[in-house]
């Protein structure tokens, strides 16, 4: 980012066509959701936004969300969101294989996609990339197009990565859980709070290298947008400018959650697995604040023993529960379990999570603490049972439980008795009322940030205005 500063709102000069921004997204559920939601926020300001990823993501979005590639897209607010995908035939299941394939084939395919936009009369004014595709910044620069990075984790995690990459912090040994370290704007942390990708025991070395490479090249981007909001992480964002070497300025544009209202009717969603249609109807039949909602997201893999302990633990709470069990995990359910809980438990392959969390029947969320899920539960004002596995989930769990004080921890190894005790503590324990009050306070703050004129909404508007100014002044899309 170098000499760049956060964009300031300016009036764009009229032109013959709306400004066009293209978002290129890593093919994973945890990346698609925030990127697509950002696309809708930008489009609502009057721009044309093209969302792109691999064609494997395109196939899933077409099947689960009904989107269609090419054409003019769909209206969102005063603008439009359209879809085009990289035709590279990538269907890699292993993360390392996927990263290698994208690094090798992604650049020429992405360059071709950008040329196709210009040839179709909608030249791209800005490219937005995310951390697992750092090569996209170079492709955009070669085409003379400015770029922005969307950091899809917390500002706190950004600070930890930045300090690590620049040799500004030494984490305690992994076998010393009682040791603490401090960084500007952050609470005292232990090695258990560090994203596991930065620890010697991390098995995903290529993934770590990809993220670190993003930090070494991030100055090539003109903007660094972050899926957070000013009020949530004020101290860490305020402390970063004093760090040497100085990091790029973080521009909070979140929480990137689904919004309700005239600017977004919910028809464009980023679910790569089709959500169960009857979740909300089932919740309608339950008492207020009675349902335990459980999900470990799209990537976390539980062992057969962990699935069994989770199943028996949820059943032992004597509360209605809605449990997301992906198709790859369903065969691990204990024999006869579904029949035994049919009268009060609902097990689905995927859920419309934002709607589930916002439902008045939902009492708590047993979550792996991915950042998207963290922000969705903050926005919904729902207490959590934090069950992190790896990566930034470890940091997010600490943030939810110890800093925001809106939940309890469920620690490994997973045991059914611990599941029951944690749920009871979050819903009816001596601190349950305080956790609910804190959750509702942060919900109000998050909703205010994305409301018209809120801090994040103003940042999105300023970004849109600056991109349009640089492009020579685009005008609002006609819808």
Give this prediction's pTM: 0.91
The tally of domains found in the chain comes to 2
DSSP state of 64: H
**In this structure, is residue 95 part of a structural domain?**
yes
How many Å is the maximal CA-CA distance in the chain?
A: 65
Three-class SS of residue 478? coil
CB 191 within 8 A of CB 170: no
My answer on whether 325 and 367 are in the same domain is yes
CB 352 within 8 A of CB 322: no
Three-class SS of residue 188? coil
- The dihedral built from the CA positions of residue 137, 143, 147 and 150, taken in this order, carries a sign that is negative
My answer on whether 380 and 462 are in the same domain is no
Parallel/antiparallel/unpaired status of strands 362-367 and 384-386: parallel
Three-class SS of residue 411? coil
**In this structure, is residue 7 part of a structural domain?**
no
- Residue 439: CATH number of its domain: 3.40.50.2000
My answer on whether 296 and 331 are in the same domain is yes
**In this structure, is residue 100 part of a structural domain?**
yes
459 part of the active site: no
For residue 144, which of 445, 470, 474, 378 has the smallest C-alpha distance?
470
DSSP state of 247: P
Q: Find all residues with CB under 8 Å of 338, minimum gap 6, and list them.
A: 347
**Phi first, then psi: what are they for 258, rounded to 5°?**
-70, 130
**In this structure, is residue 50 part of a structural domain?**
yes
My answer on whether 459 and 371 are in the same domain is no
**In this structure, is residue 475 part of a structural domain?**
no
Whole-number pLDDT of residue 93: 63
Q: What is the pLDDT of residues 57-116, one digit of tens each?
A: 888 888 877 778 888 899 999 999 999 998 765 565 676 677 777 877 888 999 999 999
My answer on whether 27 and 173 are in the same domain is yes
Residue found by looking up tokens 């963290």 in the block: 374
Domain that holds residue 329: 279-446
Q: What is the pLDDT of residues 435-451, one digit of tens each?
A: 999 999 999 999 999 99
Residue found by looking up tokens 């990075």 in the block: 149
**In this structure, is residue 416 part of a structural domain?**
yes
My answer on whether 193 and 298 are in the same domain is no
Whole-number pLDDT of residue 170: 95
Q: If you compute the radius of gyration of the chain from its CA atoms, what whole number of angstroms results?
A: 22
Question: In whole angstroms, how far apart are CA 192 and each of 172, 249, 270, 296, 306?
Answer: 9, 27, 31, 19, 21
Q: Find all residues with CB under 8 Å of 335, minimum gap 6, and list them.
A: none
Query: What's the token pair of residue 399?
Result: 């943030």
**What is the full per-residue pLDDT of the chain (479 aa) written as tens digits?**
434 444 444 434 344 689 999 999 988 889 999 999 999 999 999 999 999 998 888 888 888 777 788 888 999 999 999 999 987 655 656 766 777 778 778 889 999 999 999 999 999 999 999 878 888 999 999 999 999 999 999 999 999 999 999 999 999 999 999 999 999 999 999 999 999 999 999 988 888 888 888 888 888 899 999 999 999 999 999 999 999 999 999 999 999 998 875 455 556 788 878 888 899 999 999 999 999 999 999 889 999 999 999 999 999 999 999 999 999 999 999 999 999 999 999 999 999 999 999 999 999 999 999 999 999 999 999 999 999 999 999 999 999 999 999 999 999 999 999 999 999 999 999 999 999 999 999 999 999 999 999 999 999 999 999 999 999 854 444 33
% of the chain with per-residue pLDDT over 70: 92
| DSSP per residue, 440-474 | HHHHHHHHHHHSTTSHHHHHHHHHHHHHHHHTT--
Whole-number pLDDT of residue 473: 56
Q: What is the pLDDT of residues 281-295, one digit of tens each?
A: 999 999 999 999 999
Query: What's the token pair of residue 250?
Result: 């973080």
CB 221 within 8 A of CB 148: yes
My answer on whether 405 and 464 are in the same domain is no
My answer on whether 398 and 456 are in the same domain is no
Active-site residue identified among 20, 31, 163, 164: 31
Question: In whole angstroms, how far apart are CA 81 and each of 85, 336, 478?
Answer: 13, 45, 12
Element (H, E) at 288: none
My answer on whether 263 and 306 are in the same domain is no
My answer on whether 287 and 156 are in the same domain is no
Whole-number pLDDT of residue 9: 42
Residue found by looking up tokens 């959701």 in the block: 33
My answer on whether 248 and 296 are in the same domain is no
**In this structure, is residue 254 part of a structural domain?**
yes
**In this structure, is residue 4 part of a structural domain?**
no
My answer on whether 261 and 311 are in the same domain is no
Rounded distance between C-alpha atoms, residue 257 and residue 184, angstroms: 28
Residue found by looking up tokens 């249609």 in the block: 277
């Amino acid at each position: 980012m170098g000499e760049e500063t956060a964009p300031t709102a300016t009036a764009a000069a009229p032109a013959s066509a709306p400004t066009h921004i293209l978002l290129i997204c890593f093919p994973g559920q945890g990346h698609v959701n925030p990127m697509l939601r950002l696309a809708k926020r930008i489009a609502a300001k009057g721009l044309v936004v093209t969302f792109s990823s691999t064609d494997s993501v395109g196939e899933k979005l077409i099947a689960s969300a009904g989107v269609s590639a090419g054409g003019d897209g769909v209206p969102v607010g005063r603008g439009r969101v359209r879809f085009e995908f990289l035709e590279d035939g990538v269907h890699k299941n292993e993360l390392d294989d996927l990263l290698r394939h994208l690094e090798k084939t992604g650049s020429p395919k992405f360059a071709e996609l950008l040329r196709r936009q210009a040839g179709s009369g909608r030249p791209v004014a800005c490219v937005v990339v995310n951390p697992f595709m750092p090569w996209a910044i170079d492709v955009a620069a070669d085409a003379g197009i400015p770029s922005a990075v969307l950091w899809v984790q917390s500002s706190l995690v950004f600070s930890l990565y930045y300090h690590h990459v620049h040799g500004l912090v030494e984490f305690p040994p992994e076998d010393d859980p009682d040791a603490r370290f401090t960084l500007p704007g952050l609470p005292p942390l232990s090695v258990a709070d560090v994203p596991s990708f930065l620890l010697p025991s991390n098995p995903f070395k290529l993934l770590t290298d990809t993220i670190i490479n993003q930090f070494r090249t991030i100055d090539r981007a003109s903007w660094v947008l972050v899926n957070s909001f000013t009020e949530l992480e004020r101290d860490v964002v305020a402390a970063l400018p004093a760090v040497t070497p100085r990091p790029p300025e973080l521009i909070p544009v979140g929480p990137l959650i689904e919004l309700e209202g005239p600017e977004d009717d919910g028809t464009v969603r980023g679910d790569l697995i089709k959500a169960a249609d009857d979740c909300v109807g089932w919740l309608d039949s339950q008492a207020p604040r009675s349902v335990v909602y459980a999900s470990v997201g799209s990537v976390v893999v539980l062992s057969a023993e962990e699935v069994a302990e989770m199943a028996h633990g949820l059943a032992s709470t004597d509360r209605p529960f809605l449990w997301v069990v992906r198709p790859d995990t369903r065969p691990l359910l204990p024999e006869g379990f579904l029949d035994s809980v049919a009268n009060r438990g609902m097990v689905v392959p995927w859920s419309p999570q934002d709607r589930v969390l916002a439902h008045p029947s939902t009492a708590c969320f047993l979550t792996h603490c991915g950042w998207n899920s963290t922000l969705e539960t903050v926005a919904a004002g729902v207490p959590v049972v934090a069950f992190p596995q790896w990566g930034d989930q470890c940091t997010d769990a600490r943030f939810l439980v110890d800093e925001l004080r809106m939940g309890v921890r469920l620690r490994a190894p997973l045991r059914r008795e611990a599941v029951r005790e944690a749920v009871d503590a979050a819903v009816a324990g001596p601190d349950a009322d305080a956790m609910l009050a804190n959750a509702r306070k942060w919900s109000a703050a998050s909703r205010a940030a994305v409301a018209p004129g809120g801090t994040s909404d103003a940042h999105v508007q300023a970004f849109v205005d600056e991109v349009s100014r640089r492009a020579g002044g685009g005008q609002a899309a006609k819808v």
